[in-house]
Amino acid sequence: MKIQSLRVRTKRAKSSEDQRLKTLETFNKTYPTDSHCYREIWKRSHHSQIPICAFCNESNHQFEFDRRTFKCNKCHRKNSVTAGTFFENIRSPRAWLGRLWFLEKGVEVNSAQFAKLFNIASSTSLNMLKKIMMVVVNELSAHSTVNSSEFEDAISRRSAETPVNQHPRSEIQVETSIVEDLVSPLIEKLDVCELGIFKLLEVDKPLSSDQLLIRGALTSGELALSLLNLKSLGLVKFLPGDLYARDKPPAPPICDGAQSSRVLKFTGIIIETYQGISRKYLQLYLCAVWIFTDRKRWGQGSLIAACSKAAEIKDSQVRAYVSPPSVRIP
């Protein structure tokens, strides 16, 4: 896939600086203080419009939210807003609620732009987006996957997974993992003779039947039968001059037409909005693009609802995250 072909403009409207500032203004009007944000977070994660005391079950609109807690005016005990929820231990409720608000409104904003709008560190902003997307990925069907190499044009950033002194794209583990994935179920079907021959052979170094007979300590009958079976499984190829080599396993499934156009569209948006990403987090950015492009699925309230069902995600979990070789696409 050539970069030039990505210049095709997608039909969606790109969010402008003006649009981002306008969205921020509406957000600030809706949630003027941290207490307003905490009240909203409590309501969303407890699926209740009226605050309810966890100790005495009293419900009352008048409960006062004082940052992370609200006080019950009947039993006078303090209820935690975020304990046991996805939002546990958050430091900036404004930024969190704001992040969800921008995403649900379909206003594209990359992590650096968002950090500036909400006056938080870029790394915090980036982690917030990744944590939200680690929730969203569970909403994607596991049945529609494509190889991560399909997105190579969007992969231009290094990550902890990038081999030293190599281009970020070297993270694309297609060949190795796919080859192993495809061959391993076949290998389980082999008998001792066949497995012995398969192990003796290499892809680019053919051996003759004489060499195989000696090295494998086989009879010529065993060898002939085993080679035929290995050939029928696509594991060994017969070369001219009585030579045999390991066959390359069948290529991974190629994207169908509909998937190809989605890959192209998603790659274009990732480049435009995020100016390139690492392969490590590819899956999470695909989720972010899904949110921008499927406004019906990810409208108002949908994202915060998905987060409310999830448990807290720690920074260490974000660092440990690695996109699978075959990524899910909507």
Name the one range near Zn ion by CB under 5 A: 51-59, 178-186, 268-276, 279-287.
51-59
Q: Pick from 225, 222, 245: which is nearest to 235 by CA?
A: 245
Cβ of residue 84: shortest distance to Zn ion, in angstroms? 18
> Is residue 50 within the footprint of Zn ion (CB under 5 A)?
no
Distances (CA, A) of 160 to 126, 163, 280, 314: 15, 8, 8, 17
| 176 touches 298 (CB < 8 A) | no
Angle at 265 between CA 291 and CA 5, to 5 degrees: 160
Which residue number, 58 or 272, has a Cβ lying nearer to Zn ion?
58
Cβ of residue 40: shortest distance to Zn ion, in angstroms? 21
Choose which of 3, 8, 13, 56 interacts with Zn ion (CB under 5 A): 56
Indicate the SS3 state at residue 264: helix
Cβ of residue 157: shortest distance to Zn ion, in angstroms? 50
Name the one range near Zn ion by CB under 5 A: 28-36, 53-61, 154-162, 273-281.
53-61
> Is residue 270 within the footprint of Zn ion (CB under 5 A)?
no
Please report, for the chain, how many H helices and E strands are present, in that order.
13, 8
Which residue number, 5 or 57, has a Cβ lying nearer to Zn ion?
57
Count of residues engaged in binding Zn ion, rule: CB under 5 A: 7
| 86 touches 310 (CB < 8 A) | yes
Distances (CA, A) of 287 to 125, 141, 150, 316: 16, 12, 16, 20
DSSP state of 94: H
> Is residue 21 within the footprint of Zn ion (CB under 5 A)?
no
Indicate the SS3 state at residue 182: helix
> Is residue 58 within the footprint of Zn ion (CB under 5 A)?
yes
The span from the CA of 238 to the CA of 60, in Å, is 80
Cβ of residue 78: shortest distance to Zn ion, in angstroms? 9
Choose which of 55, 261, 299, 315 interacts with Zn ion (CB under 5 A): 55
Name the one range near Zn ion by CB under 5 A: 38-46, 69-77, 259-267, 318-326.
69-77
> Is residue 72 within the footprint of Zn ion (CB under 5 A)?
yes
Which residue number, 62 or 316, has a Cβ lying nearer to Zn ion?
62
Longest dimension (CA), the chain: 92
Which residue number, 72 or 235, has a Cβ lying nearer to Zn ion?
72
Per the DSSP assignment, residues forming a β-bridge with 64 are: 71
Residue 164, phi-psi category: left (phi > 0), alpha (psi -120 to 50), beta (remainder) = beta
Name the one range near Zn ion by CB under 5 A: 72-80, 157-165, 217-225, 278-286.
72-80
At 71, list the tokens: 């006080």
Choose which of 3, 8, 21, 75 interacts with Zn ion (CB under 5 A): 75
Which residue number, 52 or 243, has a Cβ lying nearer to Zn ion?
52
> Is residue 53 within the footprint of Zn ion (CB under 5 A)?
yes
Residue 47, phi-psi category: left (phi > 0), alpha (psi -120 to 50), beta (remainder) = left
Name the one range near Zn ion by CB under 5 A: 33-41, 66-74, 109-117, 238-246.
66-74
In the complex, the residues that contact Zn ion under the rule CB under 5 A are 53, 55-56, 58, 72, 74-75
